[in-house]
Amino acid sequence: MLQSASTTIHKWLAQPWPQMKMDLRIVLVLACGSSAGFLALRWMRKKRIRKQILEARSKRNNGLKEMEKAVSEFKQQNPGIQTTSILSLPLAELAEKLKEGSLSPESVLYTYMEKALTVTQKVNCVRHFIPECEQHLQELKKQKQKGLLYGIPVSIKDHIAYKGHLSTCGFTQSLSELQEEDSVLVKVLKRQGANPFVFTNVPQSLLSYDCGNSIFGQTVNPLDHKRTPGGSSGGEGALIAGGGSILGFGSDLGGSIRLPSSFCGICGFKPTAGRLSNSGIRGPIDGILSVMGTVGPMARNVDSLVLCMRALLCADLFQLDPTLPPMPFNEEVFSSSTPLRVGFFDTDGYFLLPPCMRRAVHTTKKLLQEAGHTLVPFTPPSVHYAIDELFFKGVFADGGSTLSAIFYYYLRHYCTVFQFLCNCSSRFITSLTAVALHIQAYRQSFAAEWKKCKLDVILCPVLGPAFTLGYPAKVLTAISSTMLFNVLNFPAGVVPVTTVTEEDDKELKEYQGLYGDPWDKKLKEAVKGAVGLPVAVQCVALPWQEELCLRFMKEIETLSCKGRQKKAT
């Protein structure tokens, strides 16, 4: 082939100059024409994308106006609704009043619609209003049997499928593709009487612990608008923390439920992957097998998480998704008062968290000891290996084909590289298998160390307090404390226990991290000036022991509340 090309060139060079000049002109015209054509196509594509974005924003804004109009009409027809009283009720008490009929489902729905509108105007957390919630409310009232979540308005993360609506993951290419049916999660929620009424915002691709995208913009933290609410379930965290939702649903592949919960001062729970259904959930958690993601609830308190899990772990769930183990909520385990043997650590040795987060662990440890529980120091084994070799390689062990397929799904009209990656995925099967085996071995060794220490649960830190906007992208590995339990596939939850103090802020000035490297310095910059913001701890149990993990979370919440009350007096 090279010899043939060389011969052709020599022949061309041997031509008379006038002929060569003509050929060069033709080549230049063709080259210029190709460049102009490419630039024209690029401009047209950008114009089309811009149009899609503007149309999506317009549709979102029109939906919010419809929401506002519906609230206004209801209030005119029903003056005297005690919205403040409704918003102050805990989920369990609200559900009870709805069941007994002392509160109407309409009054609760429109109260939360109004509050959600107020919150999103300040922090941009609602992606879309779900107008079908009004019709669904009428259908709920006709049901003979009232579910555990009867009449409760709930919010759902952008990528949880609801029939006739978008699941964008923050990508423009999904703006014309509506979901054909509800996700299993939405179906079970409806059967239990819940009423999904808004979608919440996410970062593009969901692979971030910030919360903003080019379509719907940046969501900010309701506690401090200069800070992020966390991600990728940041819209949920912001809406719940702002009081615009009493119960919401996110997803968690590396901390995407737990980080927004920590940053926003609410409770969040990541079950064992496979305890709840991921069917109908778009994005990274729907396909990555080595490191498993899952959906989970977010709320203001642990009791709300418990009621939610109790409602979801029902016969309808197991019938709609028969791949799940038929394990109803274990009331005996959750209600037990047997003292616990708790392993604890204030650093995983991979990334040293700010002083306030480590203080929270030791303060909570003391409260647990005073309550009669046994606290045992625990060193998580081989965390560097778990994060560097297992988490990242587990996510990309298929050569990135799962993730590239997601990107390709949304960007296939614009970038052929993703198609190339998808076509090449077969060469990474050996790597995928190897990483899966290594992850399984690590889970077994971690569980063996757990059993050796005779632990029931673990108390450990979670990343926080809320970062200043723009910093999550600069400090990716700071989330090792949550990533670890995705590798392990252990249930884990977050409970706020205190706030950042002036003393914490002073100690932060001396913070050097583990290595004093640029990432440690960026973390210090990200969290400075956070006095008064919430500080949480993380609670962990062994796989399939969600009820024990929730019981531990409830114990910590109760003791922390008593501790604050005692300190106040």
Active site residues: 157, 232, 256
Q: How far apart are the C-alpha atoms of 133 and 198, rounded to whole Å? A: 9
Q: Which amino acid is at 400?
A: G
Task: Confirm if 229 and 241 have CB atoms less than 8 A apart.
Answer: yes
Q: How far apart are the C-alpha atoms of 5 and 23, rounded to whole Å? A: 17
Two tokens at 456? 């029931």
Name, in order, each residue with C-beta under 8 angstroms of 290's C-beta and a sequence gap of 6 or more.
Answer: 390, 393, 394, 395, 397, 432, 435, 436, 439
Nearest to 392 by CA among 464, 272, 475, 477: 477
**Continuous segment of H or E residues that includes residue 123:** helix 105-123
Name, in order, each residue with C-beta under 8 angstroms of 566's C-beta and a sequence gap of 6 or more.
Answer: none
Radius of gyration of the chain from its Cα atoms, rounded to whole angstroms = 26
Q: Quick count: other Cβ atoms within 10 Å of Cβ 218? A: 17
Two tokens at 65? 């106006």
**Angle, CA 254 vertex, CA 251 and CA 255 arms, to 5°:** 65
Name, in order, each residue with C-beta under 8 angstroms of 486's C-beta and a sequence gap of 6 or more.
Answer: 252, 253, 254, 255, 270, 291, 292, 293, 391
**Angle, CA 46 vertex, CA 44 and CA 51 arms, to 5°:** 95
- The string of DSSP letters for 418-486 reads HHHHHHTGGGGHHHHHHHHHHHHHHHHHHHHHHHHTT-SEEEEE---SPPBTT-GGG-GGGGHHHHHHH
Nearest to 377 by CA among 341, 339, 343, 346: 343
**Continuous segment of H or E residues that includes residue 358:** helix 355-370
Measured between alpha carbons, how far apart are the two ends of the chain, in Å? 89
Q: Which amino acid is at 136?
A: H
CA 360 to chain centre: 23
Instruction: Annotate 488-521 with b (16+ C-beta within 10 A) or e (fewer).
Output: bbbbbbbbbbbbbeeebbeebeebebeeeeebbe
In degrees and rounded to multiples of 5, residue 498 shows phi and psi of: -160, -170
